[in-house]
Amino acid sequence: MSWGNPQNFPEKIMRDALIPASLAYGTGSFLRLAAYATGGLKRARLSRPVMSIGNLTVGGTGKTPITIGIARTLCQAGLNVAIVSRGYKRKSTKPVVVVSDGKGYFASCADAGDEPYLMARSVARAAVVVGADRPAAAQVAIEQFGSDVILLDDGFQHIRLMRDFDLVLIDYNDEPQKDFLLPAGRLREPLSALSRASTIIITKIPYNYDEARLASIKELVRKHAPNAELASSRFVPSKLISLGSDGQPMMTAQGKPVESLKGKKVVAFCGLARPQPFIDQLTELGAVVMRTRVFADHHWYSSKDIALIHNDLYDNKAELILTTEKDLVRLGLSLATDVKIQAVGLDTEWIEGPPRAIQSLIGMASGNKEEVSA
């Protein structure tokens, strides 16, 4: 089903059948927000500035590469950065897990969850802490690692923790004005929730984008969030990555850029909420995709899964198995040591420059740091 945007009659019937559940979901969300607004539910304020990176929809807007890019910028500015995440689909039952201390310690991917683990490995100088209780997890980062600033991963709906900057991502390819609330659609909140955002980032803008489409997205944003800063970005395939002997994602031994994929016969697999953009990306890079396998979002791979994928490689006489960075770290060393399995690494490219909110956050955190040291 084309989730939220049915393409045929059976999909429309399925969506319509879920609309009552969406109404119930929306009512519950409204009452929860009202409880925070009236003080019925208490919000937590940290002693450090907080930037939330989130979205309105379920999955696929690019929160992980955006968070990684912002964390790197903050670290380069000399700040002690902590990324706080829920740790979705992690296997550890501990209330709080330190994924990385920013000094060389790393928890396992299974205990951390794939996205926090990938962020920790991608920004080694940042502390990463996961927990359903975000204020408690953030407090661990502040007390144990002296964090100057907190990046709240996937935090837009986590109203309990107050933030100084609220970044919300919208996928250029989406049509949220035509979507529905969960479970009939992919919206976590109605579009009116954009009024809470301080910065809205339109992501995944192609090089040859439709100017009219982009203008309509901006118009939609301004309608609901007239005072929000507006930024835009795309994610650029920049490198091929494999797992090192310590489990760390690293450049392939050959150091080949993604241009080496042109004309190469490959098979691909992924476990994403929205797999098609990854497959399309491989085609755009010039790879000849012989076979694809799609697993459930955040799927933990078994040896049986990898055996099937290897069979795809041999049956199609392909040269390489390709996946995403998130999928690569979920394989584990015992399954990913085959040099034929590589991930396409992405970098964030800001169009017309990064959001001003990042520099504002650096100024705020640096000022607080000076006051504490004084």
Residue 85 sits in the same domain as residue 224: yes
Residue among 222, 204, 220 nearest 64 (CA) = 204
Please tell me the predicted confidence (pLDDT) of residue 8: 80
Residue 194 sits in the same domain as residue 263: no
Spatial contact of 130 and 86, defined as CB atoms under 8 Å apart: yes
Question: pTM value?
Answer: 0.92
Is 56 inside a domain boundary? yes
Is 45 inside a domain boundary? no
Residue 190 sits in the same domain as residue 329: no
Please tell me the predicted confidence (pLDDT) of residue 252: 46
The count of domains in the chain is 2
Residue among 9, 168, 146 nearest 81 (CA) = 146
Residue 330 sits in the same domain as residue 356: no
CATH number reported for the structural domain that contains residue 77 in this entry: 3.40.50.300
| Coil, helix or strand at residue 226 | coil
Residue 148 sits in the same domain as residue 216: yes
Distance from C-alpha of 113 to C-alpha of 103, rounded to nearest angstrom = 20
Q: 202: burial class by Cβ within 10 Å (0-12, 13-18, 19+)?
A: buried
Residue 220 sits in the same domain as residue 306: no
Distance from C-alpha of 161 to C-alpha of 303, rounded to nearest angstrom = 40
Is 135 inside a domain boundary? yes
Range(s) of the domain holding residue 367: 50-232+352-373
Instruction: Identify the residue whose tokens are 């009939």.
Output: 184
DSSP 289-349: EEEEEE--TTPPP-HHHHHHHHHHHHHTT-SEEEEEHHHHHHH-HHHH--TTEEEEEEEEE
Please tell me the predicted confidence (pLDDT) of residue 367: 85
Residue 216 sits in the same domain as residue 287: no
Residue 112 sits in the same domain as residue 179: yes
Residue 212 sits in the same domain as residue 274: no
Is 343 inside a domain boundary? no
Residue 64 sits in the same domain as residue 112: yes
**Low-confidence stretches of the chain (pLDDT beneath 50):** 1-2, 251-254
Quickly list H helices, 162-273.
211-224
| Token pair belonging to 336 | 């990913």
Is 201 inside a domain boundary? yes
Distance from C-alpha of 292 to C-alpha of 76, rounded to nearest angstrom = 38
Please tell me the predicted confidence (pLDDT) of residue 253: 44
CA distances from 35 to 50, 187, 188, 366 (A): 22, 21, 18, 34
Residue 217 sits in the same domain as residue 314: no
The identity of residue 267, as a single letter, is: V
Please tell me the predicted confidence (pLDDT) of residue 254: 46
Residue 65 sits in the same domain as residue 160: yes
Phi/psi of residue 127, nearest 5 degrees: -80, 145
